[in-house]
């Protein structure tokens, strides 16, 4: 596919792809980024799809990109809702309850970052970055069993520290 043909392809489907992304993530800027990622992925694999199947193929790529973004650690971290997000509060949660849970999450984050080595890096990667034991072991050059033990011990230390912090 030539650049001109791909430009026409993007122009034809850009609103469709953006709409799919926006319906899932409910954030205009994020939906634009995801739509770009979807088209980049489509560009790389365009030869694997017949032209008559472009629309459902693009829909699947866009939906998968949006779902991946929603599952990422970045989107799962606790954030204080802004005014525009108040209508998206979790069902059954009052703003006060949400604030309390966010305050607890911030206290947990502070305690994780305050741990001393060898638990600090392991706890940060496991609890805050949500990495797997295998990823942590590879990144730190430690045996998997050692990382599992350090996570276990870090969890015990955190539980004790957080119980001390509670009023």
Q: Is 124 exposed, middle or buried (0-12, 13-18, 19+ CB in 10 A)?
A: middle
* Average pLDDT value for the chain: 81
pLDDT at 61 over 60: yes
**118 cis-preceded (ω within 30 degrees of 0):** yes
pLDDT digits (tens, 9 = 90+) for 127-154: 877 888 998 999 889 999 999 999 899 8
Domain closes at, from 76, 102, 135: 76
Do 72 and 8 share a domain, yes or no?
Answer: yes
DSSP result, 62-100: HHHHHHHHHHSHHHHS-----GGGGGGPPTT--HHHHHH
Domain hosting residue 39, numbered range: 3-76
CA dist list (Å): 53 to 7, 10, 26: 18, 15, 27
Do 70 and 98 share a domain, yes or no?
Answer: no
- 86 is a domain residue: no
Looking up residue 63, the CATH number of its domain turns out to be: 1.10.1740.10
């Amino acid at each position: 596919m030539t650049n001109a043909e791909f430009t026409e392809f993007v122009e034809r489907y850009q609103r469709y792809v953006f709409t799919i992304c926006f319906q899932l993530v409910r954030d205009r800027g994020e939906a634009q980024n995801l739509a770009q990622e979807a088209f980049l992925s489509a560009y790389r694999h365009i030869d694997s799809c017949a032209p008559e199947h472009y629309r459902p193929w693009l829909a699947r790529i866009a939906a998968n990109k949006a779902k991946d973004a929603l599952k990422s650690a970045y989107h799962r971290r606790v954030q204080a809702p802004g005014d525009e997000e108040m209508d998206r509060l979790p069902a059954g949660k009052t703003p006060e309850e949400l604030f309390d849970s966010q305050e607890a999450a911030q206290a947990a984050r502070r305690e994780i970052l305050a741990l001393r080595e060898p638990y600090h890096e392991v706890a940060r990667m496991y609890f805050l970055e949500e990495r797997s034991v295998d990823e942590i072991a590879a990144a730190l050059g430690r045996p998997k069993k050692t990382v599992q033990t350090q996570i276990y011990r870090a969890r015990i230390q955190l539980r004790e520290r957080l119980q001390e912090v509670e009023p």
